[in-house]
A and B are shown apart, each in its own frame.
Chain A
């Protein structure tokens, strides 16, 4: 059952990531991205790390994707289509992707995965809360504060990406 679910979720993630970068309609790309993020949270649920899964759902699916969709709503018309990228951009993109994939695959293949033997720890909310705001050893206060900057960056990025350009297809 678990293996089946894992392949289901990974399949969804792979297919919709590809779709989201190949579609020419901007809102469809955002929706495919939403599917990818929801499937990722499904993976977290499979790992029984429900806190992480819920954070994934609220922050990414409910927060960032909604922000992206919202700014698309305000700035793009439904008839808008992305132009196909020109050849140099396409080649450069493919080159960068190949390097990235190569790096990831070599790292995965060279790493020997061992099944953990440590007992399963209960993921209690109080433990997570204390750890998040602790300044001591293994405390997460600095990353916690950095995340708020990340959220701000995401908001600004969404506006920049969805900013209207002068296109002739638009009816408005």
Chain B
């Protein structure tokens, strides 16, 4: 169906063939590992810079301001200037802190987001690793990030940090359930956990449209729960500026603070990418059932463009939430999860299993 879409595996395959011609197989694997690692590092850094810029612009538009507009065209270089400032700042060591854990914490947070990114399908054939448990892997790896936050809060030996970390821990641990269950809803629909398989199963329509109302409910729950899981407003009480100075990263400065900041934005991208892949078809173009002509025209837009369009749509939604809703209290936050989202998603998943059993979905 999507035969005229460009398949990136031809490009990666030709690179692999060229490398194999030059050196032995062991070195080929090694070189490819280094190449992919460098690519991801570059992508990670650029994406972080761009997302921070985007956040400031979106915030400015919502608040009827102009936003960054001095450094570079439309202020595009503003975040690079910020990055240079952060790199030059002094790293302040904390007396009476636990130095090993204090320095380790930002790396755990970064590592978790890095590992989650490895499994994302960016375009047709463009995926670093395609596990047969892809969705589960991303969930598992991103749950490691909370360890970094908890360590940061505890090892800073500061009350603000500790309160922030405990709030954040309670929040992430509870909202993880709803994220998992809402993704599981689509896993039930598509019958596979492999990310490429989930994308392929949406060749005749996205699950958001094919899965009737339960898929829509799952999507809304996914949006709410994942916004909470990445500690963003209105669920940002882990770093609530007005009460906790900066929450778990109060004591961090310079590049270590930048790591937390960067990981937060990358996590937002990962969550959006997972949402786009699972509910909105990932890199799959907008297809409607058997409308061959329409589908064919849609295929002229490259798959990588589709992926980033959908992902940034969800990123925009998450940013929109932050600048629209006031922050929740901790008891409201936990009530929302345990009394509303979790029961709804549990009932929803049973309902979806029934739909799939009866074969009512498209």
Q: Which residues of A contact B (CB under 8 A)?
A: 1, 25, 27-28, 31, 34, 38, 50-51, 53-55, 57-58, 61-63, 65-66, 69-70, 72-74, 78-79, 122-126
The one of A38, A55, A73, A122 in contact with B165, judged by C-beta atoms closer than 8 angstroms, is A73
A69 to B162, CA, bound (A): 12
**A residues in contact with B199, CB < 8 Å:** none
B150, chain A: closest CB distance, angstroms: 5
The one of A1, A28, A50, A73 in contact with B153, judged by C-beta atoms closer than 8 angstroms, is A73
Closest to B115 in A: A57
A82, chain B: closest CB distance, angstroms: 14
**A residues in contact with B86, CB < 8 Å:** none
**A residues in contact with B141, CB < 8 Å:** 57
Chain B positions 323 through 348: 1 when the CB is less than 8 Å from some CB of chain A, otherwise 0: 00000000000000000000000000
B38, chain A: closest CB distance, angstroms: 19
Contact B140 A62 (CB under 8 A): yes
Query: What 4 new A-B contacts, CB under 8 Å, besides A57-B140, A122-B132?
Result: A1-B30, A28-B100, A54-B131, A66-B147
B42, chain A: closest CB distance, angstroms: 24
**B residues in contact with A72, CB < 8 Å:** 154
A129 to B83, CA, bound (A): 47
**A50-B133, A58-B140 known; A34 vs B147 contact (CB < 8 Å):** yes
Can you identify 26 A-B contacts, CB atoms within 8 angstroms?
A: A25-B98, A27-B98, A27-B155, A28-B98, A51-B136, A54-B136, A54-B137, A54-B139, A57-B143, A57-B144, A58-B136, A61-B140, A61-B143, A61-B144, A62-B143, A62-B176, A65-B147, A66-B143, A66-B147, A66-B173, A69-B154, A70-B150, A70-B169, A73-B162, A122-B132, A124-B132
Contact B154 A50 (CB under 8 A): no
A69 to B150, CA, bound (A): 7
Give the one of B139, B151, B153 with max A CB within 10 A: B151
A62 to B144, CA, bound (A): 5
Q: Is B126 part of the binding interface, using a Cβ–Cβ cutoff of 8 Å?
A: no
Contact A31 B101 (CB under 8 A): yes
The one of A25, A69, A125 in contact with B133, judged by C-beta atoms closer than 8 angstroms, is A125
Q: Is B70 part of the binding interface, using a Cβ–Cβ cutoff of 8 Å?
A: no
Closest to A61 in B: B144
Q: Is B65 part of the binding interface, using a Cβ–Cβ cutoff of 8 Å?
A: no
The one of A27, A58, A65 in contact with B101, judged by C-beta atoms closer than 8 angstroms, is A27
Q: Which residues of B contact A (CB under 8 A)?
A: 26, 29-30, 96-98, 100-101, 104, 131-133, 136-137, 139-141, 143-144, 146-147, 150-151, 153-155, 157, 162, 165-166, 169, 173, 176, 191-193
A31 to B192, CA, bound (A): 34
**B residues in contact with A51, CB < 8 Å:** 132-133, 136
Closest to B194 in A: A125
**A residues in contact with B133, CB < 8 Å:** 50-51, 54, 125
Contact B136 A66 (CB under 8 A): no
A1 to B33, CA, bound (A): 12
**A66-B173, A78-B98 known; A27 vs B154 contact (CB < 8 Å):** yes
Contact B26 A1 (CB under 8 A): yes
**A residues in contact with B150, CB < 8 Å:** 66, 69-70, 73
Closest to B111 in A: A38
Give the one of A72, A73, A122 with max B CB within 10 A: A73
A130 to B97, CA, bound (A): 50
A85, chain B: closest CB distance, angstroms: 22
**A50-B131, A66-B173, A69-B150 known; A74 vs B98 contact (CB < 8 Å):** no
The one of A65, A66, A78, A125 in contact with B96, judged by C-beta atoms closer than 8 angstroms, is A78
Contact B100 A125 (CB under 8 A): no
Contact A28 B101 (CB under 8 A): yes
Closest 7 CB pairs of A and B: A62-B143, A57-B140, A58-B140, A54-B140, A78-B157, A50-B131, A54-B136
Contact A69 B166 (CB under 8 A): no
Contact A123 B132 (CB under 8 A): yes
Closest to A125 in B: B193
**B residues in contact with A74, CB < 8 Å:** 166
**A residues in contact with B98, CB < 8 Å:** 25, 27-28, 78
**A residues in contact with B173, CB < 8 Å:** 66, 70
**B residues in contact with A73, CB < 8 Å:** 150, 153-154, 162, 165-166, 169
**B residues in contact with A66, CB < 8 Å:** 143, 146-147, 150, 169, 173
**A residues in contact with B154, CB < 8 Å:** 27, 69, 72-73, 78
The one of A27, A61, A122 in contact with B151, judged by C-beta atoms closer than 8 angstroms, is A27
Contact B192 A125 (CB under 8 A): yes
**A residues in contact with B100, CB < 8 Å:** 28
**A residues in contact with B191, CB < 8 Å:** 126
The one of A57, A70, A125 in contact with B132, judged by C-beta atoms closer than 8 angstroms, is A125
Closest to B136 in A: A54
**B residues in contact with A57, CB < 8 Å:** 137, 140-141, 143-144
